[in-house]
Structure 1
Amino acid sequence: MIRTALLVSALATMMASDSKDLDKALAGRVAGNAETCLSTSRIGSPQVIDDHTLLYRDGGRIWRNDLPDACPGLDNDVIVVTEVFGGQLCRGDLFYTLERSGIGIPGQRCRLGAFVPWDKVKPSGAK
């Protein structure tokens, strides 16, 4: 019973931390219309928020990708390896993870969702 309570407590703490990371990254921004693909030449490596959410940066814009399914093992301590074809990263493309300190055994393959742009809110009267 105590182990179960500790596990639930640990999971709740992790989820709260993930939520804070996402809130911090998207603070002062508004969502735009989802896109199917992004050019890989404009984005860097993703920031892992949780096992359902990745963030990509493109200059001042942040692209949020909510995965269609949870990706086991997806956390801040992995390298995300994406299988890219044709210079674009698209909804439905596959990726897997590698542990940074591990022996290089790939994790489960997971699918990307749509890419939603989040842009900074312009102050009233700004053009």
Structure 2
Amino acid sequence: MRALVLGTIAALLATGAASAKKPEIPVGTPDGEAVSCIPLNQIRNTRVRSDKVIDFYMTGNRVYRNELPYECSSLGFEERFLYKTSLSQLCSTDTITVLHTPPAVQGPTCGLGKFQPIKLEKR
């Protein structure tokens, strides 16, 4: 009985370690020159890949990868952020703020990098 319990605990720990492993960032091949700004009205959705990488999915199946100049603490864990801009574009001079849950409390504010158009590797 003791061996069964220890085996079960070991299996649970292994499962926890596997699920705690950070997902890999999909390979993105550059597809043109990096730009400083992207139009807000063309952003369909975003995918936070890590504390430093966000993919912006645009209309027309275009994807821009933004690699932040510095890691933004808890961005990869929360996978939620907000931005404020008075322009019709989101630019590398803008910042994002991580949203913690629950409740939606604002976390660190971090600067964006340039927006690199990419083609994502098909899986």
TM bucket, shorter chain:
0.7 to 0.9
SS of aligned partner of 1:75: helix
2:21 to 13, 36, 48: 13
TM-score (norm 2): 0.72
Where does residue 60 of structure 1 map in the other structure?
Answer: 61
Q: How big is the alpha-carbon RMSD for the aligned residues of Structure 1 and Structure 2? A: 2.4
User: Deviations for 1:67-89, whole angstroms, at most 9, x for unmatched residues?
Assistant: 01100010254321011221110
State, as a whole percentage, how many aligned pairs show the same letter. Answer: 26
Where does residue 46 of structure 2 map in the other structure?
Answer: 46
Taking the aligned partners of 1:116 and 1:30, their CA distance within structure 2 comes to 7
Report runs of 4+ in structure 1 exceeding 6 Å deviation: none
Amino acid in structure 1 at the alignment position of 2:93? G
The answer to whether the 8 Å contact 2:31/2:118 transfers is: yes
Where does residue 106 of structure 1 map in the other structure?
Answer: 106
TM-score (norm 1): 0.70
Q: Which ranges in structure 1 are unaligned for 5 or more consecutive residues? A: 1-8, 121-127
Instruction: Choose between structure 1 and 2: higher strand proportion.
Output: 2
Aligned residues: 103
